[in-house]
Structure 1
Amino acid sequence: MITERLDETTLNSKVEKLKLRFIHYYVIITCTTLIVYILTFYYFMQGPFMTMYFTVGLITLSYIYLIIGKKYTANDMMQVYMIVAPLYNSYIMLVFWETSVASFVTLFPVPVAAYLFLSKKECIGYLLYIIAISFICFFIRENFNIEFEKFPYHKLVITDILLFCFNLVIIILILFYHDRINKLYILSEFTSVKSEDKKSVVVQEGYEKEDIDEEIVERLQNLMENEMLFKNPNLSISTLSTYFDVNYTYISKIIRHLGYNNFNHYLNRYRINHVKMLMNESDLHKVTLMFIYTEAGFSNQATFNRVFKQIEGVTPSEYISLIKTEKLN
């Protein structure tokens, strides 16, 4: 049990370091872009208010990051940023509403970054938040006669190119760190499987059922079958140990008593059975494979593919093809 917790702590620590490193580089890139914009609008565009607006953004972002950067977690900082950034960008959208669509592009990395740091529901929430802000900007432009600074189109081409380049770099950065974090989770799960296999022992003939608390077995089965606890992507044997207030070894003993080699074998059986149920009952033309495996508790496709092939003997794609063939017949 202690080893399991240490492994989880190490994994979480490494993931947190990667997220903080991403934020560090993101702040550097954003501040650099803001400096370029300040110089562009001051010397080339002759826009005094926009120059001041970008200067305030640069000072605020850099100052807050330097002050609170080491006091809060990566997720907390990103949640605050993903609320504030669209609000800050809303004025830029209002100014360039009729002359450039590039200001909308700055909002695109927000839900992408949310996918790296937060849950699927939170991603949808931030996407709706961005849509709401865009709608409010549209409403203001259509119903209020507010005068904003105007800039010639031939000059805006330069700022649009800068903005597209900035977003491209940010999206590449997000995908790079998303890949690294995924690899950490895959490596951790692979190590966990090997560790569980080493710890699993064959139940001897003299094994007595009196060693097992049938009430805990019943509660565990109820959690997995009726409450579908396996859908939690962070579920671990440590979580179950804490929930039932018993040690790691005792949970392992219960799992072997139920006929499974180890915790991962037990957990993945439930997840794969749920995946198969969804595949058989869903319209596979309308439902994505990603929705199906995340709904069952798998955090990434690489792990899902490996576990599915290991248990079913075929890949998910091959299994889907078999289902479609059966339905046609």
Structure 2
Amino acid sequence: MNEFELIEHYFRGWRGAHPDLILGQGDDCLIWHPRRPTVMSIDTAVAGRHFPETATGAQAAQRAFLPALSDLAAMGAEPAFFTLALTLPSPIDHTWLEAFAGRLRELSEHYGLVLAGGDTTSGPARVISLQMHGLVDAPLRRNGVQPNDDLWVSGFPGRAAAALPAVLNPAWASAPADWLAAYWAPEPRLELGQRLIGLASAAIDVSDGLAADCGHLAKASGLTLVIDTDTLPQAPSFRGYPEEEVLSWILSGGDDYELAFTAAPGQRNAIAALAATLNVPLTRIGQAQTGDGQALIRHNGEAHALSETGFQHF
């Protein structure tokens, strides 16, 4: 099967369309004529770096697609279309590719994105690059934090990091089902991001660790964000584990794809109502103050710079 036969067999004929997509797959370029401002992001997932080399095709599709989609959630964008660049070792494992393409199709149709084009090639390892495109009139950004803003986070961060030993060595370690789900199938907070427009002053998705990503908000806004460890949301499945280990998972573990955001104190009631409407936990975990653009951790009443950084790509 050559490149064109592979594309035709696995990636053509998917359901879905978008009125702004004039021409999709099949030409040298796609043609896009947006009615609203377009936001774009690109993520690359490499076997052995972003997902285990032993991951099934379906698992790899989830680990590539869902984190990439989370970037649109952080901007408050409505998903529109995506492109795929796929590198596969030779000879092609068609069982793996069938599962990958099938799960990718399910996810794209579930979240309402059109596969508008891409590229395939052969290489030494599986590499999945996804460029996501969304529409939003007033995107949430990282640099909007204001002094005295509250700092919030969605869901229960830390579970994906807690699951990692079981993901990497399933024969030697086990993990609760919600930890494994957080790693293999994170839920992009798309509706939350869209509903935060007008409520939040800044937002980011938690991909490299809560403390590290709050540090990005602080640096972009030129303020200090203080995270109170006493207020961090802890998943019920964390009960019984040592406090130091749990705090490390929550603060330094990556791959959560929850949203961290800031908002004025006057928005607390509206955010509480939004949490109830969406049935998504939203927890106030700190506050912004004048400072030098870093995130600090307040533990036992004292503020500290975090010694551990988040996930590093290099």
Scaled to the shorter chain, the TM-score interval is under 0.3
TM-score scaled to structure 1, two decimals? 0.26
Scaled by the length of structure 2, the TM-score of the pair is 0.27
Q: Which has the higher contact order (CA 8 A, sep 6+)?
A: 2
Question: Which is greater in Rg?
Answer: 1
Higher relative strand content: 2
